[in-house]
Structure formats: structure tokens, C-alpha cells
Structure 1
Amino acid sequence: MKKLKFPSAQTILIVIAGLVTLLTWVVPAGEYDNLSYDSEKSTFIRTGPDGSTELPATQETLENLAIKIPLEKFTSGDIYKPISIPDTYQKLDAKPQGVAAFVKSPIRGIIEAADIIFLVLIIGGLIGIMNKTGAFDAGISWLGRVLNGREYLLIILVTTLIAAGGTTFGLAEETIAFFPILIPVFLAAKYDEMVGLACIFLGSAIGSMCSTINPFSVIIASDAAGINWTTGLTGRIIMLLTCLTITIIYILRYAKRVRQDPANSIIYEEKKNEKQHFKSHDESLTLTTRLKIILFIFSLSFIVMIVGVSLLDWWFVEMTATFLVGSVLIGFVGKMKESDFIDSFSKGAGELLSVAFIIGIARGVSVLMDDGLISDTMLFYASSFTEGMNKGVFTNSLLFVYGGLSFFIPSSSGMAVLTMPIMSPLADTVNIGREVIVNCYQYGMGLFYLFNPTGLILASLAIIKVGYDKWLKFVTPLAIILVGVTMLFLTISVYI
């Protein structure tokens, strides 16, 4: 009898979409009213099931709505998404999603996720151009000579740098670009694909989980909770350093076993009979001046992207344009023929087409939940569940509540504006600081993100051709450790 194979990422997401479709028939439909700021008219817009109304943009309006957020957070643009209004949840007529909605959800998801999908495809094209020039091979050979005997530094450096990006400006979707680039480097260092995946994905996850100045996470959540984002900053820095150290040690221990014996790799059986997805680098290539310039342009593309996102309010369109311009410049410096450039670019983009589809299908799951009006219902019952608890039990329960909610609301900024106005007042009832709610939100989302199928992990696994089951086997012990550390930290924080 043939051994059953774990389903692909696409199949997993389609099954999840089917289950969510069934949930819309079981979970009651409901919605909170929300409030947004119209900068052109300088007024608030309250939107609910009965329509929209304009309200004066004053602090008194916010107080009347039980929203404890300073007015300037709206007028300055710090809060730019509609926020939920406390105590306005109401059940609505059910909107169960049928077969037609289920079938159309991947298509609608792909359309809604077009911005990130085009970013992925353009990055794939850039990688194709780089491979054609031979710059990667020459660069990896040079790096191999520099790191000879000190390959562990690669793990520490990559994980730390990406975590720094995650904690400061929310480096997450952008890490998709790093897999085709860095995985061959880890393979050249005699590690396996899992080590490279762990350094990149876990670095981003830990950084985002323990965000310190991330505007898309801790800052917008603190604003929506009505507190200054610096409140609780010291504790988050301690958590960042603690969790990052634990993660790096965990990766290093696994990586050491793989280098000693490749058979110790979790994906050894999965990879030994498979054609090498990432081509072996040519050690005979010399890093010429031309190739150095190409590598400089390539690196500069990422530097420009990071500066643009963190300082110039760039998002997917600008990031995508940056990589497109980088591709053209590299083709020019590499003296590539037009036909070779187009062929290499198209081939590179094609390599990541399956990843783009996974991102779209995952977004389709969110479309089903939004159309079925069950996301706010989940939030309502989650907030009701934690009422009246002892503060220690409350805090740790909220950690898991946020982990569960992140399946339905995988966006960190979306989670913040939807839940903070509802959840943060609960802190007052159990006599804890509202920064604890912000921490529960960050840590709960961050821990579940490690294996959340509606997040980025399935797309990341698709790039390196590794099964979701293998990732679960690798990350589960680390997740258990991090959950224990997080619960201990939260418990101490509410009693000291």
C-alpha cells in the first residue's frame, strides 16, 4: 500500500476555505459599528448595518462613544483604519456562504492580494536575472571562503538582522524575497533548507511578535488602546532579547546536527530522492568587478525598499517598482540581450507562481469570513469569555484568545484597530495596565503565526518545497518553549 503523502499548501488552504464556508452556516452573523476619520471633511464617519453618519471630530465625540483615544491620533493619521466602537455589537441576518462563494473565494483572494502577488512575481524575475548573470554563484563562493569554519555566524547574523527588521518596521511579507537568495547560501554552508527557512521566517516572526517600534503593530495597537506606545517598552525589549536568544540557540543546535550528519535533517527523506530545487553554485566563478557592481545594485534594491517602507510610507506598489528597476539595471550592467533578459525574468517569475497562488488562496479565506460576517462575532464572544477572570488567568487566557483570533484576522494592523477598542477596556476591570492587553495581542498573534496556515508560512514552505508537516515537527518544540516563557513573563508583569 502506497504511503499517504501530507497534502500540499494549496490543498490545506482549500480545505480551510471549505471549513470556513461551513462556519458561516453555524456561527451567528454580527458586526460592530466602526468609526473612521475623514481628513478631507475633518469629521468622523460612523458606519454600521443601518448606514453611515457624520459626527464632529472632537474629543467629546470619542468620549460619548466610550473610545479612550486622543483625538490627535486620528487627525495625525496614526490611526488610519476604521476602529470598532465598544458595546455596539449586534446580531445580523445570517449570510451563509454557499458553493458559489467557496469556488470564487480563491479568485477573489488573488484579486485582493494582487499587490503582494505582483511583488512576489517581480522578485522572482529579479532572482532569474541574477541567476543568469552568475553573480549569485560568485558571491556565494566568496562568502563560503570568508565563513569557512564559522558558518554558525551566518545563522546568528541572518536571524538577528531579520528580527531587527520585524521589531522596527514589521518585516514580514518582504521576507519572501530572501528565500531564493539565502537558501543557496545555507546549502553551501552544508546546512539544509530548514535552517535557512528557520533563520528567515523565525527571525521575522520573533521580531514582529516582540515589536518595539513597529508602526503596524505596537504603535497602532497602543494608539487604539489609548496609551502611549512607549508604555511597556522595556518589557517588550526584554522579551525580544529573550525569545531571540532562545530561537537562535534552537536553530544552532539543529544546524549543528545536520552538518555533522545530513541524515539528521528533518527533511532528509523528503529531499534525498528529489531533484535539487536550488541549483548548486559554481565554485569556479570569480567575483569580478562587473559581478560586484551587480551584487551592489541587488543589495541596494533591498536597502532602498527598507528605507522606503520605514521612512517614506512606501508599500507594495513602490516596493515592486524598486525591484523592477533593479532588474533592469542589473540586466544593463550584465550586458544581457533583450531576449535573454525577458526569458530569464519570465522564468524567474514562473518559479514563484505557485507561491503567488498560495497567497491569493489564503486571502480568499479572509474574504469568506468577511462576507459571512463572522469575524466580529468571534471577537464579541472572545471578549465575553475573558470578563470577570482573575488578572493572572485573564492575561494568559487573552494570549490564547488572540492566537485564535489571528486565524480569522491575520493582519496585525487589522487586528489592532478591530480589537483594541473592545479588549483594552477589559484591563480596567481587572486592574491591570492597558499595555498588558497590547502585549497579549502581540505575543498571541506572534506565537500562532509560527504555524498559522492563513499567514505566510505555507507560502514560505512552497518556495523551498518543504511540507507543512515537516515544519510542524521542527517548530513545535520551540513553540512550546516560547509559549511557556511568554506565559511566565505575562504572569509576572501583572503581579509586580
Structure 2
Amino acid sequence: METSTKKMTFPSAFSILFIILLMAIGLTWLIPSGAYSKLSYDNIEKQFIVKTYGNPDQRYPATEQTLNQFNIKIQLSHFTNGIIKKPIAIPDTYQRVTQHEKNAIDMLHAMVDGTIEVADIMVFIFILGGMIGVINKTGAFNAGLMSLAKKTKGNEFSVVFAVCVLMLLGGTACGIEEEAVAFYPILVPVFLALGYDAIVCVGAIFLAASMGTAFSTINPFSVVIASNAAGIPFTEGIGFRTIGLILGGICVIIYMRWYCKKLTANPAFSYTYEDRQAFYDHYMKDIDPNATVDFTFKRKLILILFCCAFPLMVWGVMFGGWWFPQMAASFLAITILIMFISGLPEKELIHGFTHGASELVGVTLIIGLARAVNIILEQGMISDTILDYLSHLVSGMHGSVFIIGQLLIFIFLGLIVPSSSGLAVLSMPIMAPLADTVGIPRDIVVSAYNWGQYIMLFLAPTGLVLVTLQMLNIPFNKWIKFVMPIVGCQFVISSILLIIQVIMYGH
């Protein structure tokens, strides 16, 4: 009698997010709905608007007196200059509201609405994919990879090291998150040509960028906006954040070095060994490592233009006020320029563009589905309830216990609110004043927010993890196995630095 056994497979990113959507719906039935009053600035009328559930909007003069009236310790200029754009939660205004249970119909609407809300990110990713497709048609990638492989022979890890350092710096300076998606199509073939696997790709890009973002020093999208919302200059606490960045970066590089050495010694050590051929075929199908491709001046110029797109993107985000529409437009402009330089037939170029864009459809849909989870939680009005409960939980604790409690709270809130700026404006006006009650500086709470949230965002399916894994075809359970040592390192580093700061202030 024949017996057949089916190999157990881990659910795909789509299935994981669908399950989380169902859980989110369940939470809207179990957790009471509630809301804080929210204050925002009307740039047209030059007034503050206070929205309170169930009441008409109230308008107030945009003055320091109004902010003091609502116990909001934020400089008026942060509102008037557009530094803080999202509504700020007003302390001590939480109230229970009518229960907002969600159902299956709401879930379907959220899936569609979530996809619409991230349309700008989707367009950016499609244009990126199209650019890669065009450059593949020119043969520039193939020629460049062969040249790089020859130059780094015997010193392959130097490429991994350089990418890790760049991602760490990009993360700490401008919070490279969604933008990191742009680096995979070009760097993945590089790592494969050097003999590495999918895990090395995600480690050098996502892991390093996330560690840099976790220990942000001047990142305007997390630590700066959180400090502003806490009513303090973002330079407060920057010394300890820098120390954390150095320690976290060392941990990432040492860990990547260990993994790469193991992989080089025994390719079967790879955490994704079973899927290695499919992954290689997908990313290297247009690249023949045995082919002789001349690295002509035209191909070098094409790769130079392609590489220029990334520092231009970083500059635009940091100093030009760019977001995904502007980044997509810059990538599209460079793609069109490359098309003219290539000299290839128009039909061949258009086919390369559309084919490259089509390969990233699954990635873009994951982003929309992840956003649907946030929509369900927002519409269920349970995020404010969770925040109110947690703020009362740690209120009045001893300094060291309080700050570790804050770290744990922000780890949890990172799952509920995966947006760094969104969590900052929601939580800082509530959590930062609690530091005053236990006699510690508010910048320590800002650090707890940043470090705690990103411990979770290494793991949270509602963040960018599943988008990254979908792009690299890595099962979620394999990622968990790889990333947990780094999560543990970050938790230890964060806890020690937070306690040291509390002790320095006599608590």
C-alpha cells in the first residue's frame, strides 16, 4: 500500500495578511471603541481645528495660548511651518464611543481602499520595475555584473559590507523604508553573482536599513517628528541614539559576516536552500554569467544614470520635500533618457518596460493589503483605546521600570500602527508628559518610541516585511529564523541604553 505525505508549506504573504485582516475584524468586536480629541492646523484659515467624536468641529486661534489650553507642549512654529501635518492627540480627552464593529463587507472595502491609498507607492514600484526591464534589454546589467564579479574575486563580502553601511546611514538620516524597494532589483543580481543567497540580499538592504532607522539620529519621519510632538528639540538624546546606531550597525555587519562565511563554506547552509534555484532563475534569467558582454561606454553611461537615480531620490526626500510621485517622476525621466541612449528598437524597449513592471504586481498588491489592516483598525476606532489603556498601565512607575515598560508598549504599538510618523503624532502627546511624572527627560521616551517600534517592524506583517519577502520569494518563517538574533540584539542594546539614561538622571 502506497502512502503519500504532503510537505507542509508556510502560508504565503497574501494568506498571512488575510488571516491578520480577519483577526483585526475580531478585535473590533472585542476591544471597546474610543477616541482622543485631535488638534490640527488649517493652513488656509490659519486656525487650529479640534475634532471631537460626536461633536461639531471647533476652531481656535493659532496661538501658544491655545496649545497651552490643551496641554500640548509643542512649538507653534512646528504647526505653522508644516513640520507637523497630521492631527495631534490631545492629552486627557479620551472617551468611549459607539462600538464600531467591522464585518466581511467592510474587509472587502478595506482591501480595495487600501490599494487605492497606496497608489502612489504602486506607481513608483511599477516605474522602477519598468526601468530595470529596460536596462536588462541593453545588456548593461550583465556587463556590469561580470566586471564587478572579477574585481571582487576573493573579497566578495566587501560588497555586502559597503551596502550595509550605506543602508545604515540612509536609515538613520532619512528613514529608508518603502524607498528600499528600489534597491532590490539592482542589488539582488549583484549578490547572486557573488555567490550569495536571498537572505543576504534582504539582510544587507532591509535589515541594515531598518537598524539604521531604528537608531535614527536626524530622520525627519520618526525621531524629528516624535521630538516635535513631545515638545523638545530633536537634538536632545542624539548622543545615545548615535551610540545605539554604532552598536546596532556592528551587530548587523558581524551577523552578516558570520552568515556569509557559513554560506561560502557550505551553500546548503542557506536558510532558503530549497528555493535557491527558483530564486536564481527569476533574478538571473536575463543575465548569463558565462557570456562575454562588452562593457562599452554606452553601457557604462546607462549604469551611471541608473545609479544617479538613488542619490537623487535620497536628496529629494531629505531636502526637496519629495514623496513617491516625485520619486516616480525622476525615475521615469531617467528611464526615458536611457531609452534614447540605448539605441534599441522602440518595440523592444516598451516590451522590456512593461515586462519589468508586470513582475512587481504581486509586491504592490501586498502593500495595499497591508494598508487594509490599518484601515480596519482605524475604522474600528480601537487604536486610541489601546493607547489610553497602555498609558495608564505605566503611569507612576519607577523610572527604570517605566522606561522598559514604554519600550515594550511601543513594540506592541508598532504592530497596531506601523507608520512611524503616525505613531509619533498619536502617542507622543500622551506618552511624553508621563516622563514628567516620573522625573525623567522626554527625549528618553522618544528613544523608547523609536527603538521599540522598530523592534516590532523587523517582524510586523503589517509593515514592510511581507513586501520585502514577497519580492525576494522568502517564506516568512525563514525570515523569522534569520532575523530573531538581530531582534534580540536590538532589544538588549535599547534596554541597556534606556536604563543608563534613566540612571544618569538619578532614577
Same fold, TM-score > 0.5, yes or no: yes
For residues 105 and 282 of structure 1, the distance between their equivalents in structure 2, rounded to whole angstroms, comes to 43
1:212 aligns with 2:217: yes
For residues 488 and 172 of structure 2, the distance between their equivalents in structure 1, rounded to whole angstroms, comes to 21
1:191-231 CA-to-partner distances (Å, cap 9, x unmatched) read 11101110100111011101111111111110110101100
Match of 1:45 in 2: 49
Match of 1:3 in 2: 7
Secondary structure at 1:54's aligned position in 2?
strand
Deviation at 1:407, TM superposition (A): 1.1
For residues 140 and 390 of structure 2, the distance between their equivalents in structure 1, rounded to whole angstroms, comes to 52
Alignment of 1:402-413 (within 5 A): 402-413=410-421
**AA matched with 1:399:** L
Secondary structure at 2:190's aligned position in 1?
helix
Whether the 8 Å CA contact 1:223–1:229 is kept in 2: the answer is: yes
**AA matched with 2:495:** M
1:82 aligns with 2:90: no
For residues 110 and 176 of structure 1, the distance between their equivalents in structure 2, rounded to whole angstroms, comes to 17
Match of 2:305 in 1: 297
1:317-358 CA-to-partner distances (Å, cap 9, x unmatched) read 000111111111111111122211221111101111000000
Match of 1:244 in 2: 249
Deviation at 1:303, TM superposition (A): 2.1
For residues 409 and 494 of structure 2, the distance between their equivalents in structure 1, rounded to whole angstroms, comes to 14
Q: Which of the numbers 110, 115, 128 marks the counterpart of 1:105?
A: 110
For residues 275 and 391 of structure 1, the distance between their equivalents in structure 2, rounded to whole angstroms, comes to 51
Secondary structure at 2:282's aligned position in 1?
coil
Whether the 8 Å CA contact 2:115–2:368 is kept in 1: the answer is: yes
Match of 2:190 in 1: 185
* Distance change in 2, residues 1:257/1:275 (3 Å): closer
TM-score after normalising by structure 1: 0.98
For residues 470 and 207 of structure 2, the distance between their equivalents in structure 1, rounded to whole angstroms, comes to 16
Match of 1:13 in 2: 17
Q: Which of the numbers 449, 456, 466 marks the counterpart of 1:441?
A: 449
Match of 1:32 in 2: 36
Secondary structure at 1:51's aligned position in 2?
coil
1:463 aligns with 2:471: yes
Q: Which of the numbers 359, 378, 392 marks the counterpart of 1:351?
A: 359
Q: Which of the numbers 248, 265, 274 marks the counterpart of 2:270?
A: 265
Count residues in correspondence: 496
Deviation at 1:268, TM superposition (A): 0.8
Whether the 8 Å CA contact 1:31–1:89 is kept in 2: the answer is: yes
Match of 1:255 in 2: 260
Whether the 8 Å CA contact 2:414–2:456 is kept in 1: the answer is: yes
Match of 2:381 in 1: 373
Deviation at 1:273, TM superposition (A): 6.7
Secondary structure at 2:284's aligned position in 1?
coil
For residues 384 and 310 of structure 1, the distance between their equivalents in structure 2, rounded to whole angstroms, comes to 36
For residues 301 and 136 of structure 2, the distance between their equivalents in structure 1, rounded to whole angstroms, comes to 15
**AA matched with 1:19:** M
Unpaired runs of 5+ in structure 2?
Answer: none
For residues 60 and 339 of structure 2, the distance between their equivalents in structure 1, rounded to whole angstroms, comes to 54
**CA root-mean-square deviation:** 1.2
For residues 215 and 88 of structure 1, the distance between their equivalents in structure 2, rounded to whole angstroms, comes to 28
**AA matched with 1:492:** I
1:92 aligns with 2:100: no
TM-score after normalising by structure 2: 0.96
* Distance change in 2, residues 1:177/1:274 (3 Å): closer
1:243-272 CA-to-partner distances (Å, cap 9, x unmatched) read 001111001100111011101111112335
For residues 274 and 150 of structure 1, the distance between their equivalents in structure 2, rounded to whole angstroms, comes to 23
Whether the 8 Å CA contact 2:140–2:300 is kept in 1: the answer is: yes
* Distance change in 2, residues 1:274/1:135 (3 Å): closer
Secondary structure at 2:59's aligned position in 1?
strand
Secondary structure at 1:276's aligned position in 2?
helix
Whether the 8 Å CA contact 2:89–2:426 is kept in 1: the answer is: yes
For residues 486 and 313 of structure 2, the distance between their equivalents in structure 1, rounded to whole angstroms, comes to 31
